[in-house]
Amino acid sequence: MQLSKKLEGNKLTITVSGRVDTITAPEFEKYINENIESITELILDLKDMSYTSSAGLRVILKAQKLMSAQGSMTVINVQDDVMEIFDMTGFSDILTIE
């Protein structure tokens, strides 16, 4: 899993690539927590995220809850396989996916 970010004022884009699993998810969570202070618009770019387990979903749901308190969160470029998991778990209804 690799993580990168791009900050434009109060808008933060985090790009996730590779696998988000039980081992890597804590790192992902920490990365988000460290960077979203005073951010009102969070973009999660999942263009290169090939895999996520429930651990990854948990991080994304946490981020959604945090961001709905201080702004908004949008998920973009979701791969088909991951999208299938979002659909399965009802995440496609609670996330803003573009």
Partner 1 sequence: MNKIFKIRTNLAFNIVSAVILLLIFFSLIVSAIGYVSFTNAFYREYRESTCNMAQTATLLVKADNIDTYLAEGGTSDEYLQSQKNLDKYCLKMDVSLVYVIKVDTSDYGRFTSIFNSVGRNTPYSPWKLGYQQDATNDEYIQVYKDLYEGNISNGTIYRTKDLKGAPPHITTLVPIKDTKGEVVSLMCIQRPMKELKDGRRPYLINIAISTVILATIVALLCTFYIRREFVNPLRRIATETDRFAKENKKGDELGSVSKIHEISTIGLSIDKMESDMLRHIENLTAVTAEKERIGVELSIASTIQENSIPNIFPAFPAREEFDIFASMTPAKEVGGDFYNFFLVDDDHLAIVMADVSGKGIPAALFMMVTNILISDRTHMGGTPAEILTFVNNNICEHNRADMFVTVWLGILEISTGKITAANAGHDDPAIYRKGGQFEIFKSKHDLVVGAMGGIKYKDFEIQLNKGDKIFLYTDGLPEATDKDNKMFTLDGMINVLNKHKNKNPEGILDGINESVSEFVGDAPQFDDLTMMCLELKDDKCLKTLTVDATTENLATVNEFIDGFLEMNDCPLKEQMKIDLSVEEVYVNIANYAYGDGTGEAEISIENNDGEITIVFKDSGVAYNPLEKADPDISLSADEREIGGLGIFLTKKNMDSLSYEYKDNQNIFTMTKRIL
Query: Does the footprint of partner 1 cover residue 95 (CB under 8 A)?
Result: yes
Q: How far is the CB of 10 from partner 1 (least distance, A)?
A: 21
The CA distance from 22 to 44, in Å, is 19
Identified binder of partner 1 from the candidate list 11, 17, 58, 74, rule CB under 8 A: 58
| Cα distance between residue 21 and residue 54, in whole Å | 8
Say if CB 48 and CB 76 are below 8 A apart: no
Q: Does the footprint of partner 1 cover residue 51 (CB under 8 A)?
A: yes
Is residue 97 close enough to count as binding partner 1 by CB under 8 A? no
* CA 79 – CA 68 distance, rounded (Å): 24
Residues that bind partner 1 (CB under 8 A): 21-23, 50-51, 53-55, 57-58, 61-62, 64-65, 68, 81, 85, 88-90, 93-95
